[in-house]
Structure 1
């Protein structure tokens, strides 16, 4: 078994956070997966690296010796990616990626224009598909990486946050809630809803926050469930109900006044978008440059400049 950089990264995160659970949250992994990777690293070195006898994780003598090397390896990997991207002034080649519905149809297209101006010799092939299909094509090496709406926990996949988004209540023009600065969950729940299908990332974020506020999303008057964001937009525009969508997916309708976005009081519908790739495969420089480009932009930004994601 070869020494694994990913395991060093996990060990370093556990040591920094002081617990397996905190490290799991930080790395978007399950706690058992974090524990297993640390145990594998301990088996590799033949020594215990962490003392689990107390409530808070403590480093053993071996762990204290390994920690600075783990930190240096992480710093070196980051420096390598950064320096190689800067050194390669002219990136070229074909970048093949997959993206889930919202990301592929609404988030990425306006960002591809400024990226293309920066790197005119990179050709991007984008496939819009669900997460399962993306992972399957990554495993078959037909995609370099994917962009999805939820973290993926899989022993062969690295899942990293690259952008964030926040849903808003979307209402049609002329609706009684039009003109309101904010609305409450109770007020919104009094109206019919048009929702994405069960299992969609957008719907999951909405339902999770509804439950977090002590309300049952199953009690909503759901008049229609649709399999695409475009279909949901059309139904809401026609006055069939309200919905929860990312403003980036209704940008043109908002500009034309066909739809309106209203924040909901005391509720946060934030979500992360994640890149997914095989642990065993190094990303091509074109892919590294594209991911760095995404991290430097605010969601929905189409021009030059940068923002904090």
Structure 2
């Protein structure tokens, strides 16, 4: 019998989850199959790796020594797949992922076309939902991974930056500022703003960027707070105020001549988009390829 990566992955998952049943669920395996693989690994090394009690599975001294090596093997396998994804063209299968609102409605649609041309045999199924729902569906093994607009702190999740986005000033084309390509912040603050609701990722990025310039949120002349990017865009088009949004979300309106994107001088409102997946899961090569494709894209090109 030879040592194999699959057994190390199963061992690491059992040690991390603390039970065979939880590991089996995370790995999409039956509990007897997980037990059999652990027994085979223990036979290979000639020693017990896990202590089985009524409450929780605990690693033996030998098991504790093996855990970091198992973890390194998983990391190496992921890095190997990420590297080889750049050279793999004939992938096929169904790729199911979740994405939060801005990514799912405004970023991914224009990228799925080029991805589909490059990998025509991968069938992408995209669900647009909030971050909490994405996490829940990943934990229930209903999604391979998700794309979110803010960091997620969860003990069972792996979080990795995928793309960088930046908010910019958005004004209607008949606005007094619309003839500017770049403008100082001091010339903007006197105008009424239409903003996303407090607690939204977009609003938080804007306020964080302003705080770095010693501008308090209360200094913004906010005339309206709305619960969606689409509603904010409609209000700005109607002349009710100006706003801060990702240029990715207004490409259509800019092309139609309804809105204008303006840079604010010496100000940065950058944010990252992240991928999340279960720690106990090895992403399928199709998912690794998709994420590698996203990392190569420029959102505002």
Task: Normalising by structure 1, report the TM-score.
Answer: 0.72
Shift of 1:73: 7.4
Matched, 1:136 2:136: yes
Matched, 1:166 2:186: no
| Alignment match, 1:44 | 64
The structure that has the greater radius of gyration is: 2
Partner Cα distance (1:233, 1:84) in 2 = 37
| Alignment match, 1:283 | 283
Evaluate the alpha carbon distance shift between residue 135 and residue 215 of structure 1 in structure 2; reply closer, same or farther with a 3 A threshold: same
The 10-residue stretch of structure 1 (104-113 or 178-187) with the greater mean CA deviation from structure 2: 178-187
Evaluate the alpha carbon distance shift between residue 257 and residue 281 of structure 1 in structure 2; reply closer, same or farther with a 3 A threshold: same
| Alignment match, 2:220 | 220
The 10-residue stretch of structure 1 (223-232 or 162-171) with the greater mean CA deviation from structure 2: 223-232
Preserved contact between residue 98 and residue 129 of structure 1 (Cα < 8 Å): yes
Unaligned stretches of 5+ residues in structure 1: 8-42, 47-65, 302-309
Partner Cα distance (1:132, 1:222) in 2 = 28
**1:227-238 correspondence to structure 2 within 5 Å:** 227-238=227-238
Matched, 1:240 2:260: no
Evaluate the alpha carbon distance shift between residue 145 and residue 300 of structure 1 in structure 2; reply closer, same or farther with a 3 A threshold: farther
CA offset digits 1:277-306 (Å, max 9, x no partner): 1001111111111111111111156xxxxx
Preserved contact between residue 110 and residue 300 of structure 1 (Cα < 8 Å): no
Preserved contact between residue 85 and residue 285 of structure 1 (Cα < 8 Å): no
Preserved contact between residue 81 and residue 285 of structure 2 (Cα < 8 Å): no
Unaligned stretches of 5+ residues in structure 2: 1-9, 17-62
Cα RMSD of the aligned pairs, angstroms, is: 2.6
Preserved contact between residue 95 and residue 286 of structure 2 (Cα < 8 Å): yes
SS in 2 for 1:44: helix
| Alignment match, 2:26 | none
Partner Cα distance (1:153, 1:192) in 2 = 35
Shift of 1:183: 1.9
Shift of 1:117: 1.1
SS in 1 for 2:223: strand
Task: Normalising by structure 2, report the TM-score.
Answer: 0.74
